[in-house]
Amino acid sequence: EDGDTGNWNAEFDAISIVGSHHVWVDHNSFTDAPLTDDTLPVENGKPRQCHDGALDIREASDYVTVSYNHFALHTKNTLVGASDKAVDDAGRLRVTFSNNLFEYIAGRAPRVRFGQVHLFNNYHVGDRKHPAYRHGYSVGVAKQARIVSHANAFEIAGARACTDAVRAFATGADAGSFADSGSLLNGAPLAPCGRDAPAWTVPYPFTALPAGAVPAHVRAHAGAGKLHIQ
């Protein structure tokens, strides 16, 4: 049910991972097309959307991998942790995002509360003046998030600083942390974002491509119909 402010997009995710563990989301394609926001009627001041997130991970879910997916043309893409009040999420929400394409996503790619999240070799494409899906930020560092980032590629028209790609949503004792190595923003090294480094290290072996090689690799392999079994 909608409220006075027209928040039509508060329910109905494409995929909800709720209280689950050891989940793998791989080689899927998610998009609003053909019913993009600019084609929807406006009621109560906002487009009458019939969806919320593309993929939300919440309520103490744990050990989740999101890999080689194509997310396109969407406003609120992915939450890891759905509420600042969900304190039981602390110590859980261990999630890896790798080799995903986020294409014209307005935000939440992902937005993290409490979680211990590893981001590597993801490719973000956006435009801060897009007519329907104006880029606000890519990675949201919310309450007590602990994010480690390696060799992601951000191609965001109009973005000039790390804070255009990585946004903080909490301060003081609730502030999250974000540490990056090797990522690029519009071809230049992603500058420090002013967040403290997380006090954890990635607990598994992985090999990250250089960020400059990420766009071609991800476009060739991410999304439905691109799974090659040998």
Give pLDDT tens digits for 33-45: 988 877 776 776 6
- Work out the average pLDDT over 210-223: 99
Determine the pLDDT at residue 45.
67
The pLDDT tens digits of the residues spanning 188-198 come to 999 888 777 78
Residues with a catalytic annotation lie at 108
Both tokens of 224, joined, read 């439905």
Write down the number of H helices and E strands in the chain: 2, 21
DSSP strand pairing (42-43 vs 79-80) = unpaired
Q: What is the mean pLDDT of the chain?
A: 91
Letter string b/e over residues 54-92, b meaning 16 or more CB atoms within 10 A of that residue's CB: bbbbbbbbbebebbbbbbbbbbbbbbbbbeeebeebbeb
Assess contact for 65 and 86: CB atoms under 8 A: no
Q: Which of 16-30, 61-75, 104-118, 189-203 has the lowest mean pLDDT?
A: 189-203
Tell me, what's the pLDDT at 49?
A: 57
pLDDT of residue 2: 41
User: Residues 55, 97: contact at Cβ < 8 Å?
Assistant: no
- For the entire predicted model, the pTM comes to 0.91
pLDDT tens, residue by residue, 47-99: 555 556 999 999 999 999 999 999 999 999 999 998 998 899 999 999 999 99
Residue 88 three-state SS: helix
CATH of region 15-221, choose from 3.30.300.10, 3.50.50.60, 2.160.20.10, 3.10.450.50: 2.160.20.10
Residues 170-174 have a mean pLDDT of 93
Mean pLDDT of 135-153: 97
**Which is it for strands 116-120 and 94-98: parallel, antiparallel or unpaired?**
parallel
Give the start-to-end residue ranges of the domains of the chain: 15-221
pLDDT of residue 227: 81
| The predicted structure's pLDDT at residue 38 | 75
* CA–CA dist 7, 132 (Å, integer): 17
Nearest CA among 143, 138, 146, 142 for reference residue 190: 138
Token digits of residue 38: 């600019």
Return the exposure string of 123-148: e unless at least 16 CB atoms fall within 10 Å of the residue's CB, then b: bbbbeeebeebebebbbbbbbbbbbb
